Amino acid sequence: MIRRNLEHSEVKATRYRAHGGGVAHMILDTRHLQTLMFLAHASVPPRDRLIGHVDPMEEIYIIQSGQGRIQVGDEVCEVEPGDAIQIPAGHFHELTNTGKGELTILVVAGLIPV
């Protein structure tokens, strides 16, 4: 078993700018996981966004707090806490914070072939 949170020293050491508009941390990655690529936490300030991009792996965004709008491919929808959005590998996606507070998400990234 591995236990991590955002205050863990290894997690804090992974802080990075996520797609231009957010701050992210790797909670778990391939150093710890056997078949998943990573579990990350990201926060997006009000009126900012994770700039649209394409990833080579499937992802799931889990909205923890705040309000936003996500685009996956040609689909656009509003998101709120508790929503989980599946993003297929190779699909364009962008997340915009439309609320007055911080938008926070967990990101689970795809399987590593075994």
Contact 43/62 with Cβ under 8 angstroms? no
Q: Domain 9-111 has what CATH class?
A: mainly beta
Rounded to whole angstroms, the Cα distance separating 7 from 4 reads: 8
Amino acid letter, 22: G
- Encode pLDDT of 49-103 as tens digits: 999 999 999 999 999 999 999 999 999 999 999 999 999 999 999 999 999 999 9
Side by side, the strands of the sheet bearing 59-65 are: 16-18, 22-28, 36-44, 103-111, 59-65, 84-87
Phi first, then psi, for residue 101 (nearest 5°) are: -115, 180
| pTM for the model | 0.92
